[in-house]
Structure 1
Amino acid sequence: MSYKAGFVGLVGRPNAGKSTLVNYLIGEKVGIVTRKPQTTRQKVLGVYTDEKMQAVFVDAPGKVQADSGLNLFLKQELETVISDSDVLLLVVSVDEKSPEKIDDMIEMVVASKKPWVALINKVDMSQYRHRVQIIKDKLSALNVPVFTGSAKKVDRFKDPLFEALNERLPETKAPLFDKEIYTTQNMREYASEIIREKCFLSLHQEIPYGLAVKIIKFVENEGPTVKIFAEILLNKENHRPMVVGSGGTSLRRIGTASRKELEKVLGRKVFLDLHVRVKKGWVSDERTMMELGYVAQ
């Protein structure tokens, strides 16, 4: 029996549940998950391997319209994922308010001429169940496999989904990555994403999307404690009080939550030094975006 391996690009609207899906499919956390749309900024690679196949999931940012700055980077990341993937997995959420935007995503996937499958996500949201069959009929008319379910309950559709992906992935002599690997992110990148996730989860008011996390120093070979020095970079001065909080309470909450998760992942004690810095207009500053890794390859 030939082995199958390749890249599976996750495509969908912001907040469709792509990051949650890939985390549960792989069984490990490889992408940040919040209820806020557009939290995925860079391509995240999660790797699923079994005896028949290896699917390298590429969780791309949701589709945005932009001609410059950070949003242009997000748009380019999505385009790169589509062009570089062997198979596309379209994730459609039943709570998407605009049918036209669903149609737009479908048209983009079809135009790529790549093999693809579709998942209708969040079907456990009872107030939107009437939409499931409408979306399913629309997708089924395109003669592609359509799965329904909730990203957090992947056991209900995981096996048939992987079978459909296996049928569409190219044949290879061996897996693309070592069988023990579940993500291609390094720990420095992972730490940055964890801290950014905790910022989004902690800030319940208007979320400053001009927020990024920069790891200044990551020291893991000087004793039993991993030392991480990081800064939360903001685009506007009036976002600082929101992130810092009264007497620093919000920043401490973000730091504590980040440290606990990093300790769980690393299996070691973590010292986290976290500061806030404002750099006005960084979202359109090419040099800063390059430093943060927000430049399309």
Structure 2
Amino acid sequence: MEKIDLKSGFVNLVGIPNSGKSTLINKLVGRKISIVSHKVQTTRFCIRGIYNFHLPKKLKSQIIFVDTPGIFLPKRRFEKAMVTAAWSELKLTDKVVFIHDVLKKIDNNTKEIIKKIFQIKPDVILVLNKIDLLPKEILLKKISEIKKFYDFEETFLISAKNGSGCSKLLEYLAIKMPEHSFFYDENTISDLPQSILASEITREKLFKNLNQELPYNLTVETEKWVINTDETINIQQTIYINKQSYKPIILGKQGQNIKRIGTLARKELEKLLDCKIHLFLHIKFKKNWMEDPSKYSSIGLNYNA
């Protein structure tokens, strides 16, 4: 009987905000575990997604993808904790994948981030995302441009949205994982508690339906999770805001805005959890919620970062 190699390791997905990290991890693991929006800094903490790769008679490999907050210059304590978490994960990972949106320029900020990543991990994999949105001749020029700066271990061209190029990336990473027994059960897709996922789904709907700075000044917590005898679930969530003036905006005229947000969140949760959901949303003013250490520890961020 042939010996099957068993491998398992961690892959850190890093990049500037809105490069497609969350879309990619959802595509790679085959299920939504990280929220997505067109606004920058949507991801606030590190999220792990697990993919099990099988090569018949040769290899079984478990890849633990870590979706990190986008790297940017933080201004507030909460932002600093987010960015610190992203950098800290780099030191613990087996492989680093730097994701770049090919529609964006490689500015000095991006160059500095790549430089710092290479100082921590010398074998960085480059993933160029959204290749389906760029003409081939411009894409080739972009590839040549970015590869001038550093010697990436390997380069992959993908579209995280439609999955193009993702299978090649998965196979490459599976082979590159260190020999190790699986860290997670083969049926596990993410280590994110369902209560936090539920909070994140609601926060995603708030991000997509509120304008300007408002989404960055709120957080969502799941306060109660009750499984009923008919197997439906009651979920009670609180939306914390740091300005009283935000409440009427979130509510909307005659409560229509929060009703729409709640409906969108409930429908997605029902799809993810495969059961009937009763979702109750409450808005609570807490001026200094960003200074509350418990709001950090509950999602794995360091208040003193």
- The residue correspondences of 1:157-172 to structure 2 (distance < 5 A) are 157-172=165-180
Distance change (3 Å), C-alpha of 1:146 and 1:258: same
Distance change (3 Å), C-alpha of 1:287 and 1:2: closer
* Aligned twin of 1:238: 245
- The residue correspondences of 1:1-297 to structure 2 (distance < 5 A) are 1-51=4-54, 52-66=60-74, 69-97=77-105, 99-126=107-134, 130=138, 133-139=141-147, 142-154=151-163, 156-172=164-180, 174-290=181-297, 294-295=301-302
Superposed CA offset, 1:242-281 (max 9, x none): 2111111110011001111111122211111101112113
User: Deviation of residue 116 (structure 1)?
Assistant: 2.6
SS of match in other structure, 1:57: strand
CA distance in 2, matches of 1:148, 1:65: 27
| Contact preservation (8 Å) 2:53, 2:62 | yes
| Contact preservation (8 Å) 1:120, 1:136 | no
TM-score scaled by length of structure 2: 0.89
CA distance in 2, matches of 1:136, 1:239: 46
Report which stretch shifted further, 1-10 or 110-119.
Answer: 110-119
Superposed CA offset, 1:128-163 (max 9, x none): 973653344433750421111211122x31232123
How much identity, in percent, do the aligned residues show?
Answer: 34
Distance change (3 Å), C-alpha of 1:227 and 1:234: same
User: Deviation of residue 108 (structure 1)?
Assistant: 2.2
| Contact preservation (8 Å) 1:94, 1:120 | yes
CA distance in 1, matches of 2:170, 2:68: 19
User: Deviation of residue 42 (structure 1)?
Assistant: 1.2
CA RMSD of aligned residues (A): 2.3
| Contact preservation (8 Å) 2:6, 2:61 | yes
Q: Unpaired runs of 5+ in structure 1?
A: none
Distance change (3 Å), C-alpha of 1:143 and 1:253: closer
Distance change (3 Å), C-alpha of 1:294 and 1:274: farther
CA distance in 1, matches of 2:140, 2:41: 23
CA distance in 2, matches of 1:128, 1:102: 23
* Aligned twin of 2:57: none
CA distance in 1, matches of 2:212, 2:156: 35
| Contact preservation (8 Å) 2:102, 2:134 | no
**Given residue 15 of structure 1, which amino acid in structure 2 is its aligned partner?**
N
Distance change (3 Å), C-alpha of 1:61 and 1:128: farther
